Amino acid sequence: MTGFDASPSRRDTPPSTPGTPALEQDDPTAAVLLDRRGEPVFHTVLAADGTVEISAIDPTGETRPLRRLGGAEHPMGVYPQQVTADGKGLLVGSYQDGDDLRLVRVDFARYLGGRSADRSEPPSTD
């Protein structure tokens, strides 16, 4: 899978909020979701079949697929999409083969194989 370019050259400072870093996102079918520190942690993209592919972005910028959601039940995409406060999960709306929309947590740590998703901590040796 291709890596995600999170280099400083892709960041810009919007004129309305000086000093606040922003991440340029030029693909209307994709979104990069940031944690509280402004680091990219999740990448979502609308696939050709109408599903939304959710990937984790590791500290090196490499993306790894986590889950596919949507299709006919989400014709305008999967909403809501919110990174959890700890930056280790993504809350998304999903019907899960039912009629009621539910919040589902997609866990970043699952992708890391039990290692810490906090970039300030070294991976655990469990």
> What is the per-residue pLDDT across 66-111, written as a single tens digit (0 to 9) for each?
989 877 777 777 888 999 988 889 999 888 778 888 888 988 765 5
Q: How confident is the model at residue 125 (pLDDT cuts 50, 70, 90)?
A: very low
Three-state DSSP class for 121? coil
Q: How confident is the model at residue 8 (pLDDT cuts 50, 70, 90)?
A: very low
d(CA 40, CA 59): 8
User: Helix, strand, coil % (nearest 5) of the chain?
Assistant: 5, 40, 55
Query: Average pLDDT of 23-45?
Result: 88
The rounded percent of the chain whose pLDDT value lies above 70 is 67
Q: 33 and 96 in contact (C-beta within 8 Å)? A: no
CA atoms within 13 A on the CB side of 123: 10
pLDDT reported for residue 87: 85
pTM of whole model > 0.75?
no
Phi-psi region of 100 (alpha: psi -120 to 50; beta: other; left: phi over 0): beta
